[in-house]
Amino acid sequence: MTFGEQPAYLRVAGDLRKKIVDGQLPPHTRLPSQARIRQEYGVSDTVALEARKVLMAEGLVEGRSGSGTYVRERPVPRSVARSGFRPAGGATPFRQEQSDAAARGTWESSSEQTAASGAIAERLGIRPGDRVMCTKYLFRESGEPMMLSTSWEPIAVTGRTPVMLPEEGPLGGMGVVERMAAIDVVVDNVTEEVGARPGLAEELLTLGGVPGHVVLVVQRTFYASGRPVETADVVIPADRFRVSYHLPVK
């Protein structure tokens, strides 16, 4: 194979992908069988199989037990708006994760104390093994799962205060900024790093994705006078949502 030449399975996958995108193979259409791909493109069974695997990994097709492989419905991406924290009137966890005044949604959560892993300890500026409150969220919009979030807060900051449990007490269900303000911790900065990776099996099962689908991961940390007081990983299905940032000009 000369430099720049694609392997045969990628060329076949590319042609089938174009047909899907162009509508020649519309949603719910059965993908040509392995034998037909082999015959049409003059390739081996191995190449035909690998081409189908590529399309599955990209989420363009799905296998149906005993029926074959079909073109998936392609969702129209929606925006998850993020613009830092805006606590006016109190930011609920849903509004905090999607900073859009028009956004409406629900969330489920569970909290437990745990020992900070090395990675989380580094993000929070504490020692590995220090106690943190770990809260896991599932966010829904119109009943559809749209985001997962795992949050960690140092017990050294919130322990023995009314806001130790994010979803309980007088400020249960409010955002980090307002909860911290109630214990005289003033959040004055937030950072976010966005990356992408294949979704974990349990994440995709909850979010309704297909194995191999890519998720966006927003790694967010709130600071008070330079001290990290909360850090979180927000997981968003990349095939259904786009992360949209609206940043003020100072």
Specify which of 45-59, 81-95, 145-159 reaches the highest per-range mean pLDDT: 145-159
2-11, 13-22, 190-199: least confident range: 2-11
Number of other residues whose CB lies within 10 A of the CB of residue 7: 12
Q: Are residues 151 and 226 in the same domain?
A: yes
Q: Are residues 62 and 120 in the same domain?
A: no
Residue where a domain stops, chosen among 71, 93, 116: 71
Q: Are residues 66 and 112 in the same domain?
A: no
Which pTM was predicted? 0.75
Which helix or strand (DSSP H or E) is residue 243 part of? strand 241-245
Q: List, for residues 18-63, the tens digit of each pLDDT value.
A: 999 999 999 999 999 989 999 999 999 999 999 998 998 887 888 8
Give 96's pLDDT tier (boundaries 50, 70, 90).
Answer: low
Expressed as residue numbers, the domain containing 232 is 78-244
Q: Are residues 22 and 86 in the same domain?
A: no
User: Could you give the CA distance from residue 176 to residue 166 in angstroms, rounded to a whole number?
Assistant: 8
User: Could you give the CA distance from residue 112 to residue 164 in angstroms, rounded to a whole number?
Assistant: 10
The predicted model gives 54-77 an average pLDDT of: 84
Is 154 in contact with 135 (CB distance < 8 Å)? no
- The percentage of residues in the chain with a pLDDT greater than 90, rounded to a whole number, is 58
Number of domains comprising the chain: 2
Helix-strand-coil percent breakdown of the chain, rounded to 5? 25, 35, 40
Residue where a domain stops, chosen among 71, 101, 126: 71
14-18, 27-31, 85-89, 112-116: least confident range: 85-89
Q: Are residues 59 and 84 in the same domain?
A: no
The one-letter code for the residue type at 96 is Q
Residue where a domain stops, chosen among 51, 71, 91: 71
